[in-house]
Structure 1
């Protein structure tokens, strides 16, 4: 079992999640796609489908409680729309990529060869399974706090209508049409104490700065830098305030 945990990078994943599991086999199960035990029956591993079922409910209740409490004036329709966006497979896959979850997944060889590691549905299901694993390992309150922190910036972006404006993806697609290189994001400066950080970020292509931006999280600063780059490139309208 230890060899499989090392193969999946369980300890590194715990560091990314900032959670130490009491029962690490739960986290291992959460990242095990059904194709892996099917091809490796001798390992006696269970897949993540049951945990994904549980994590879906933990996620939904956590998000619903958070937005219900934070947005007391919002009508039911608005709350339902926010929740639908936040718990969608597209959002979950995006969040999974933010923590590079794909590198930890246990997939069968066939699934691996057909691009399963990049598939939205597999990434989303694994992330929901992780929520279920946290709930079983540490209880609902800890799982809810983790989910609320994990989605904190996303919730605010959905509320302001900015969430679907994924400037990093738009910039990536633009660059791919014109170059075989990838945009590179670098931190210029970190300001403030740990509980109130501000990150200043720049985005580069072939060593040339395309744009810069700042935010309270690294991901937020990257989005601002990507938006700045798109403005500078003439792809979107706006003022580069980076």
Structure 2
């Protein structure tokens, strides 16, 4: 399987990451990727980008070094009702939004399965969000069997996050279960790196090994072909509202 887009990446605008936007795009070009999504953290995370960062992403061209660049954000779920730190003023500037749960943004745990399940069910209904970020995190358990089909029904892509295999090893078994349920219920997924440094862009080896072990259908991996990826972008995002991109002038 060939992954053609890295759809969850951070720049030094998220102050715990270490490469510029240009360096991340260049890394994607060197790897031969079709697309990259720059998804810096929302305001609820410590060290988040400044006030106008997301609005001003409109200055970033949608094509750089031959790579399709998605202007994105990793927003944080901030409560059990599924509210996020995504700012209304930023939505129109963004192409690609990942929703994730992190300790600094969520209420202090431990978190019940019922509470996290409710949060994700409400996130599934949020029309601005495309991707469900690293939801296998061990500290945020939820009812996978109940929620995964709802992600699919609402056009959300369930993320298989490469960084889990190095940074959240206790969550790997949860990710296996989630991928099995995505296969069972034919819920599309997206594979990405969650890179915080340019050298990791486009490195999907552990994720691809897991998908192979699970005999996961390639047609459910949205970023495994340019055609599937573009079909999703046209249906669920505003990327191709850029007239220059639509006319292939960028």
Same fold (TM over 0.5): no
Which structure's residues are more often helix, by fraction? 1
Q: TM-score, normalised by structure 1?
A: 0.26
- How high is the TM-score relative to the length of structure 2? 0.25
Which is strand-richer, 1 or 2? 2
Structure having greater relative contact order (Cα 8 Å, sep ≥ 6): 2
